[in-house]
Amino acid sequence: MQKNIVLVEGAGFCFGVKRAIDIAFDVARKHKDGVFTLGPIIHNPQVVERLKDLGVYPVDEILQNTIKTLIIRAHGIPKEKFNELKKLGCEIIDATCPFVKKAQNLAEKLASEGYQVLIIGDREHPEVKGIFSYAGEKAIVINHADNKLKEAKKIPIFNKKIGIIQQTTQPMSKVKEIMNKIINSLNEFEEIRIFNTLCNFTSRRLEATEKVAKEVDVMIVVGGKNSANTTQLANLCKKIGVKTYHIEDAQEIDKKWVNSAKKIGVTAGASTPQWIIDEVIDKIKKFTN
């Protein structure tokens, strides 16, 4: 029986990730040694391994005598860390996603103008840690999973102005829900400024994935297990009720997942390269023919 495989439109690399990867591979071609990234360049182990093969290694500790060129990852880094790196004397190449950079700049601007900064996102995510550092010590991160908004209740009453920004990969539906609760529960404030710092690539991918997930028997979600936006896609599909499998590469696919399915959906996170998506589709075709 012929199977119908549906690839979600826009699956795979987003603009910011593609830019960071292009920068990293370009640097790898020009420099033969002493090239490092501060943390993984993106949340995809296969891409990180390919860069290692070309002599670009992720590091958490900065050893000055070994580093000639340091690439800042797509998620960005805290402001104090960036200032610290500038003192090392090595070449620094900033591959921070422009959407993330926008959020950092807005956080810094709001803080300098006396606003209490609220960041909607995952406080443990490297992107949010970076944005937080630009927003000042009084900034508050509101976790999208915290429906009671306990963090928001910590806002000092004397501060009458708040500014709201978001982690770039947060789903729009969650952001709207949280912002509505903030506005309703904080009506004693004189001014609330809201900036849209969401990545439109991420929003479109979520919408396209939701549409496909409602029409298929099985969803295969491709991307790093440590990728927040890939996990977000998998959770969305599971919430819809379709059988969902989150994998990093084609080797993980079990024939039983797709054998009885008439229609199979495939989506991928922003850190998933096209060659991995192609391998996954080829493997599904092999199993279903």
Residues labelled as active-site residues: 127
> How big is the CA angle at 132 (ends 127 and 135), to the nearest 5 degrees?
135
- CB neighbour list of residue 225: distance below 8 Å, 6 or more residues apart: 231, 246, 248
Host H or E run for residue 5: strand 4-7
- CB neighbour list of residue 248: distance below 8 Å, 6 or more residues apart: 44, 45, 46, 222, 223, 224, 225, 276
Q: How many CB atoms within 10 Å of residue 232?
A: 23
Q: How many CB atoms within 10 Å of residue 20?
A: 27
